[in-house]
Amino acid sequence: MTSTETIEALRAELAALLGERGVSTDPKTRERASVDEATMSPILSEQLPLGLADLVAHPANAEEIAAVVAAATRHRVPVTARGKGTGNYGQGIPLRGGLVLDTTRARAVVEVGDGVITAEAGASMALLERTAAASGQQLWMYPSTAQSTVGGFLSGGSSGTGTIAHGSNWEGFVVALDVALPGPEPVLAHVEGEDARTFVHTYGTAGVIARATVRLEPAQDWRAVYASFPTFEEALGAVRTLRALDPLPRLVSADRAAVAERLPADPAIPAGRASLRAIIDAVALEEASSLISAAGGVVEDVREGTQQTIKVSTLSYNHPIWWLKKNSPGREYFHVEVGGEALIDRIHEVEAVYPGGMLHIEAGHRFPIGMLTAEYTGAADVYAGYAKLVELGVRVHSPHQFYVDHGVEELLALKQRTDPDGLLNPGHLGVPELAVTLPAQAKI
């Protein structure tokens, strides 16, 4: 707990730095800044509120981000960075209170080069994609939460549209970062390559990303393809064949009819049929149509333009489960992140792990990944399913805990250098019981 006097002293200093509108202690603003999409997990929801910010700062550029981190350090106040707050593990919740540093006003695109784009932390991934398109290029990847920030996606996300070709966001996507580090004076550490990668997916516990340079590639002529199938099993067959297309698809997602019916109404997602949505290079469109027919499906629609491909992206990854929850009043659903060929090869056994289980699937990079959802009957039932899934050869990641659980040892070593006093997003670095009980090779 930080004393009221300390918070007031920091508020006054931040107001001098950012202007009165650049810092807030308003209770509603603090509450809004203290929860993210952790509400997707009934297990996390039961624990809310898990923390409350004492104040919220809104720096407008990278230098101000560094100045805010320095001011908080001088007052020894914890700092939790925040983008759009779409993280669904509660990773953006300020567990120990303190300052929430909202980056969404620092949203300038700094430069577009050949194969790279540099932007401030609060720029949205959709803005980066549109800016890249204007120069004949495209992002390597962006998440289904296309409005989320580049700083938030690199710190809290992992994959999305483009992952089939490029893997996760820690696999070469980041070229360089300017990272605000705790210290009495503003510090923007410039890190590149491997040194930059170590900050990815660390929930802002080792530094606050102020500016990021990420990879672009030459733009492709994408088509948004909607297909439907009599059964989900047939759609799964198409997921497998489509992911081998040349050029690779940018995205292939599929759902059972019962999940697809909860998506926003669209004539290309007909009721009672399994739905497949994909982003396919125009040169592979004919072959994709043949593969869809061969698997027993029909192409419902093919749409052109960046808006249309981004729309298909926003129906991928966690989104079908998000819509299922939103559009199923009176029912509570949970999901588990799963991966591996077993998702297709052993679909009935996989879904049977939870009564009424339904899989949302993505084609993935090395293997398919997905979200296995079912009605929530209690945390113990959810956890009991993990071991059964692992036995089936399924990789499991639990979205029901808020600890960093990727590259933890490397992060601890980094943090010793960058944040020895533990001021950055405290409480999110521990050894979660669930990560220990799951063998490393069973994790996604």
Ligand X SMILES: Cc1cc2nc3c(=O)[nH]c(=O)nc-3n(C[C@H](O)[C@H](O)[C@H](O)COP(=O)(O)OP(=O)(O)OC[C@H]3O[C@@H](n4cnc5c(N)ncnc54)[C@H](O)[C@@H]3O)c2cc1C
Closest-by-Cβ residue to ligand X is 152
Q: Which stretch binds ligand X (CB under 6 A): 201-209, 217-225, 379-387, 405-413?
A: 201-209
Given 118, 318, 398, 401, the residue binding ligand X (CB under 6 A) = 318
Q: In 3D, which of 315, 228, 317, 242 has the Cα closest to residue 280?
A: 242
DSSP string, 334-394: EEEEEESTHHHHTHHHHHHTSTT-EEEEE--SSS-EEEEEEE---HHHHHHHHHHHHHTT-
CB nearer to ligand X: give 85 or 98. Answer: 85
Q: Of 209, 350, 369, 435, which one interacts with ligand X (CB under 6 A)?
A: 209
DSSP 64-110: HHHHHHHHHHHTT--EEEESSS--SSSTTS-TT-SEEEE-TT---EE
Tell which one of 127, 208, 239, 292 touches ligand X (CB under 6 A).
208
Query: Where on the phi/psi map is residue 49: left (φ > 0), alpha (ψ -120 to 50), or beta?
Result: beta
The yes or no reply on residue 432 touching ligand X (CB under 6 A) is no
Using the rule CB under 6 A, is 319 a contact of ligand X?
Answer: yes
Q: Which of 10, 22, 35, 36 binds ligand X (CB under 6 A)?
A: 36
Burial label, 6 (beta-carbon count in 10 A; 0-12, 13-18, 19+):
middle
Q: How far is the CB of 117 from ligand X (least distance, A)?
A: 16
Residues 388, 352: Cα–Cα separation, whole Å: 10
Q: Which is nearer to ligand X, 169 or 228 (CB)?
A: 169
Closer of 100 and 291 to ligand X (Cβ): 100
CA gap 434, 444 in Å, rounded = 13
Work out which of 24, 61, 118, 155 binds ligand X, going by CB under 6 A: 155
Which residue in the block uniquely carries the two structure tokens 């981000």?
65
At closest approach, how far in Å is the CB of 114 from ligand X?
25
151 binding ligand X? (CB under 6 A) = yes
Which segment (71-79, 109-117, 154-162, 324-332) binds ligand X by CB under 6 A?
154-162
Nearer to ligand X, 153 or 229 (CB): 153
Least Cα distance to 202 among 411, 414, 17, 23 occurs for: 411
198 near ligand X (CB under 6 A): no
For position 280 contacting ligand X by CB under 6 A, the verdict is: no
Please tell me the distance from the alpha carbon of residue 229 to that of residue 224, in angstroms, as a whole number: 17
**Which residues between 392 and 431 bind ligand X (CB under 6 A)?**
425
Cis-peptide into 247, omega within 30 deg: yes
Distance (Å, whole) CA 271 – CA 58: 44
Looking at the Cβ atoms of 38 and 292, the one nearer to ligand X is 38
Question: Where does this chain bind ligand X (CB under 6 A)?
Answer: 36-37, 40, 80-88, 91-92, 103, 121, 143-145, 148-149, 151-153, 155-160, 203-204, 208-209, 317-319, 322, 425
